[in-house]
Chain A
Amino acid sequence: MLIFEILPDATDIKDDILSSIPESEVVSVDSLDGNDLIQILVPLAAVIMPVISQIVQKYFDNSCVTIKFDGIEISALGYEKAMKILKEVLAQRGAAKNNDTSN
Chain B
Amino acid sequence: MALFSAVANQTMDCQLTIQQIKSASVFPEMVSAHGKHTLYWDLQYWEFFQRFLLELSYLLENSAYGDRFTERVLAICYDYLSLKLLHIPELAYCIQVNRERKFSAQDKTVAAASLGTLELIGSNYESGVYYSRFLVFYHEFFHLYYKLNPTAKVEDSKRLNKLAELYCGGDWLTDLANDEMSSLLMEGFQTLLHSEPDKLLEEASCDYRALIETISMQRKLTNKDQIFAHELQEIHDAFHMNQTFLSYLTNISSCWEILYKTYQRVDSYEELLQRSQPYFDKAAHMAIIRNSIIPDFLDKLNIKKYDMPSYISILDKPYIKAAIHKVGDQMVDLDFMLYAIEESIRLSRLPHYDPFELKNIVLRNAGYRTAAE
Residues of A within 8 A of B (CB): 8-9, 25-36, 66, 68, 70-73, 76-77
Contact = CB atoms under 8 A, between A and B. Distances in A.
A33 B286 CA distance: 11
B144 A33 contact: no
B112 interface: no
Interface string B130-142: 0000001001100
Given A32-B45, A72-B87, A76-B88, 19 more contacts: A28-B32, A29-B30, A30-B29, A30-B30, A32-B139, A32-B140, A33-B27, A33-B246, A33-B250, A33-B253, A34-B286, A34-B290, A66-B87, A70-B356, A71-B24, A71-B86, A71-B359, A72-B89, A73-B87
B33 interface: yes
Interface in B241-262: 246, 249-250, 253, 261
B89 to A, nearest CB: 6
Q: Helix, strand, loop or mixed for chain B's interface? A: helix
Contact of A34 (B33, B136, B203): B203
Contacts of A68: 87
A71 B87 contact: yes
Contacts of A30: 29-32, 140, 143-144, 147
23 contacts: A8-B198, A25-B33, A27-B32, A27-B33, A28-B147, A30-B30, A30-B32, A30-B140, A30-B143, A30-B147, A31-B25, A31-B27, A31-B28, A32-B136, A33-B26, A33-B253, A35-B250, A68-B87, A70-B359, A72-B87, A72-B355, A76-B88, A76-B264
Interface of B: 24-33, 45, 86-89, 136, 139-140, 143-144, 147, 198-199, 203, 246, 249-250, 253, 261, 264, 286, 290, 355-356, 359
A32 B359 contact: no
B231 to A, nearest CB: 24
Query: Which of A30, A31, A34, A35 has the largest count of B CB atoms less than 10 A from its CB?
Result: A30
A70 B45 CA distance: 21
Contacts of B45: 32
A29 B29 CA distance: 6
Contacts of A72: 87, 89, 355-356, 359
Contacts of B139: 32
A96 B166 CA distance: 66
A95 B30 CA distance: 38
B31 A28 contact: yes
A33 B254 CA distance: 11
A8 B28 CA distance: 18
A30 to B, nearest CB: 4
Nearest to A28: B32
Contacts of B250: 33-35
Contacts of A25: 33
